Structure 1
Amino acid sequence: MNLYNLKDIKEKVNFTQAIKLGLGKKQGLFFPEIIPKISKKKIKKLINKNFITRSQKILSMFIGSEIKKKTINSSIQSSFSFPGPKISYIKKNIACCELFHGPTLAFKDYGARFMAQILSLLNTEKKSITILTATSGDTGAAVAHAFYKMKNIRVVVLYPKGKISTIQRKLFCTLGKNITTISVDGNFDECQKLVKKAFNDSDIREYTQLNSANSINISRLLAQICYFFEIFHLVPKDLHNKIVISVPCGNFGNLTAGLIAKSMGLPVKKFILSTNSNNTVPRYLKTGIWNPYKTISTISNAMDISRPNNWPRVQEILKKNKWKINKHLEYGSVSEKSTKKHLKELFQKFNYISEPHASIAYTLLKKSLEKKNLYGIFLGTAHPIKFQETVEKILQIKLKIPNSASNYINLKELSYSIKPSFHLLKKILIKK
């Protein structure tokens, strides 16, 4: 598998190099030179296979002969060794695909665990590696747990102080060992800016063997492709030519993976790009002007991102396929008031307990399906307990805490606390 840098197309790397580097020159994202195409006949056969077997075949198409097929299969088996996606049927033409049944109760378990397995496998010289990442909510826990106690790998996670939920925080700020967490007095975009600056610092890169575990790393992105195929395995076959998928979007990794799956031949009619009030992309698609506003704090905090890193990849897919936006991709943003309203609607009308991010995807999906003979799936990207305070307050109920989260509630948090200062971050990263 060969990839090129979206900011410097002369820089070309293979799969293993892309994983180790994370980012290319000029902080450019790596993108596959060729997206594998699968015939309709083979797509049907692939959909009939179980999740693990199918994922092994899909990822092998990208990785090719760089890593032995037996090794890839073993890594995928280990990566996805938890309950897979589930479909919850809401009403006649709408269902939720729940991606939150993994160890940290969020969809990011898929990509983070696959990346951990592959990076550990590729570290044949047993060098000390530092994984540096920023989180707007769920990435932190998924990455921390995926790499927890792995030899020769240190994980450093930055998160915006006071802007992620208690359970989100507890799941990764209490681990210690090879996991370092840093509370930054700012928003997610400021955390991400510090991460990018670190990747441009030669001292840090040389001292730490730096890598990233955000969805900018191609290994995480490829793993996410797999559950879009699983949706078609789980829903009845007579719906396969009617499916519209609404994706709650923050950093746009999930949407990128879905569009790659569609590029491969998965017969998704259309995707819906769903954002909260941080609506840089919907505004851009409407006006043609890229004008990120200051990030707004919302109850859907994992989507509080004004400068989504994966957007260039989405643009590249649209360009490569010569897809017109309105035919293949709808878009919209949802207010706080509407997010709460539809969270209540899901509970009161359909007895379904959801959370703010999924509510946003549901809101735009419901609107899109009016008077159309289509079937809508909205992605449930995190367990409602991850947003316990918010969900309980809006729905006036008490949520039961799953065992996978309750084990961390009373543990002490071990985070550093800093201003959004690169100097302070650098001191922590090269601390001996």
Structure 2
Amino acid sequence: MSEPLHYRSTRSAQHTARIEEVIAAGLAPDGGLYVPEALPQLAPSAFDPHGTLADTAIALLDPFFRGSALAPELPALCREALDFAVPLRALPHHPGASVLELFHGPSAAFKDVGARFLAACFRRLRARNDAPLTILVATSGDTGAAVAAAFHRQPGVRVVILYPDGRVSPRQAHQLGCFGDNVQALRVSGSFDDCQRMVKAALNDSALQAVSPLSSANSISLGRLLPQMSYYAHAALGWWWQHREPLNFIVPTGNLGNALACVWVREMGLPVGDIRLACNANATLPDFFDGAAYAPRAAVPTVANAMDVGAPSNFERLSWTFPHEHELRAQLQATSVDDDTIRRTLVHHAHGHHELFCPHTATAVHQLDQLQDHARPWVVVATAHPAKFDSVVEPLIGQAVTVPPALAAMLERPASAEPMAADDAALKTWLVERAHGPWAVAS
């Protein structure tokens, strides 16, 4: 058996772990994010030109899992998680441009890929006699529903979703609260950054972990981030074999997990060209890439709410990937798009081109519209189905958006969420009180 790849914290190289330990823990002991000691290098020849998305993922992730307890299960993990389409569809009104549709999974958002893979890992890592594990999730809208769908009724696992009350779309809020059983939604009286801080504080509390074992399913979890690389690799390789040129991506981003997955695919040696980040009015990243010092700030609410992040966690991983600021700034560009521009973009493409996008994808479409570079192939990454944001999209375009069947089924269920103060201690108290309580954990 090959030597396993080891992982370390973004904040220290002193503690190392194996991939199964990394997935189980979520966060490193020092509060940092886990990263591989080095990114593996792969060539297009390592992949099957006629393979499925799952086949691409198996080849891509093999170096990350090699020699681990999960290595023999990797093909099954990938096939379980990646059993829906992620089509690369040409945009007729933008010659040479395409949209990568990542919203065909159970919760109608790209988060389904990582959440389903992570849940499949936990099914194999957890023994029947383990104490119940509580998965904590901070969500700005889409992550929570994907994790809930992936872990719903999974034996030995509880899911607690924290979302900013009033700052997600009505349909997103319904999704978050519609599962019941082993899934509990908490509507926090604050921002996504408050939710994220509360989750990190709980995960870093050793006394709380002793009472109620915890893990994470946010993009701070490497078990979610790694499989997200697969759709970038699959799209880029497919284009490479047909055209022998790299694909360039415009990625809507908030917490930087999705964009980082694209960056890592490029750093592993696969044919990804330029990467541009599309942000909403939360301009932490655009300001940094424009030359300002990195300065996390309070998030402001926008119509692209799943990207309402002022302190993106994965900036730590991005800084580990490129330790020098001048080098990091040379790798990416980032643009901030305000709400009025998002609305105009949605209307223009719906009425002018019969193309419907969600508000987040519209930030990337706007960047595409502004590009002067028409000689190279560009891909807009579509992160969610527009039907999840009917309260934004439908009044603008003057027509109903067809609801995908999986989303429609969720919306038919009753939904509820408990209120929670934006306070670290409040969450810890809530978890302790329910550590041995009656809320459902299947056996």
Distance 2:191 2:173 in 1: 15
Distance 2:400 2:19 in 1: 46
Partner residue, 1:352: 355
Partner residue, 2:114: 111
Listed as ranges, the matches of 1:246-265 within 5 Å are 246-265=250-269
Distance 1:305 1:70 in 2: 37
**How far off its partner does 1:119 sit?**
1.6
Partner residue, 1:331: 334
Give the SS at the match of 1:159. Answer: strand
Listed as ranges, the matches of 1:118-129 within 5 Å are 118-124=121-127, 125-129=129-133
- Residues 85 and 230, structure 1, Cα contact 8 Å, conserved in 2: no
* 1:405 partnered with 2:407: yes
Listed as ranges, the matches of 1:371-382 within 5 Å are 371-382=373-384
- Between stretches 276-285 and 295-304, larger displacement belongs to 276-285
How many residues are paired up? 428
Structure 1: which 5+ runs fail to align? none
Partner residue, 1:197: 201
Distance 1:429 1:314 in 2: 32
* 1:208 partnered with 2:212: yes
1:83-119 CA distances to partner (integer Å, 9 max, x unpaired)? 3344242421221100000000000000001001112
Letter in 1 for 2:350: F
- Residues 319 and 328, structure 2, Cα contact 8 Å, conserved in 1: no
1:280-301 CA distances to partner (integer Å, 9 max, x unpaired)? 0111222331223321100000
**How far off its partner does 1:366 sit?**
3.0
- Between stretches 133-142 and 81-90, larger displacement belongs to 81-90
1:330-375 CA distances to partner (integer Å, 9 max, x unpaired)? 211111111111112222222111111111011123323x144111
Letter in 2 for 1:380: A
* 1:140 partnered with 2:133: no
Partner residue, 1:154: 158
**How far off its partner does 1:181 sit?**
0.7
Distance 1:419 1:321 in 2: 37
* 1:23 partnered with 2:15: no
- Return the TM-score normalized by structure 2: 0.92
Letter in 2 for 1:310: N
Letter in 2 for 1:78: E
Letter in 2 for 1:331: A
- Residues 286 and 333, structure 2, Cα contact 8 Å, conserved in 1: no
Change (3 A) 1:135 1:324: closer
- Residues 87 and 234, structure 1, Cα contact 8 Å, conserved in 2: no
Partner residue, 1:288: 292
Distance 1:194 1:383 in 2: 28
- Sequence identity, in percent? 29
The one of 275, 278, 287 aligned to 2:279: 275
**How far off its partner does 1:155 sit?**
0.4
- Between stretches 86-95 and 179-188, larger displacement belongs to 86-95
Structure 2: which 5+ runs fail to align? 438-443
* 1:422 partnered with 2:424: yes
* 1:245 partnered with 2:279: no
1:49-107 CA distances to partner (integer Å, 9 max, x unpaired)? 22111211111121102035441111211111223344242421221100000000000
- Residues 9 and 30, structure 2, Cα contact 8 Å, conserved in 1: no
- Between stretches 88-97 and 3-12, larger displacement belongs to 88-97
Distance 1:269 1:285 in 2: 18
**How far off its partner does 1:408 sit?**
2.6
Partner residue, 2:69: 67
Distance 1:290 1:206 in 2: 35
The one of 202, 208, 221 aligned to 1:217: 221
- Between stretches 111-120 and 343-352, larger displacement belongs to 343-352
Q: CA RMSD in A?
A: 2.0
**How far off its partner does 1:321 sit?**
12
Distance 2:235 2:430 in 1: 42
**How far off its partner does 1:406 sit?**
1.6
Give the SS at the match of 2:158. Answer: strand
**How far off its partner does 1:238 sit?**
5.1
**How far off its partner does 1:215 sit?**
0.4
Give the SS at the match of 2:91. Answer: strand
- Between stretches 109-118 and 79-88, larger displacement belongs to 79-88
Distance 2:240 2:271 in 1: 14
Distance 1:46 1:292 in 2: 42
Letter in 2 for 1:246: I
Distance 1:2 1:131 in 2: 24
- Residues 47 and 229, structure 1, Cα contact 8 Å, conserved in 2: no
Partner residue, 2:394: 392
Give the SS at the match of 1:24. Answer: coil
Distance 1:324 1:150 in 2: 40
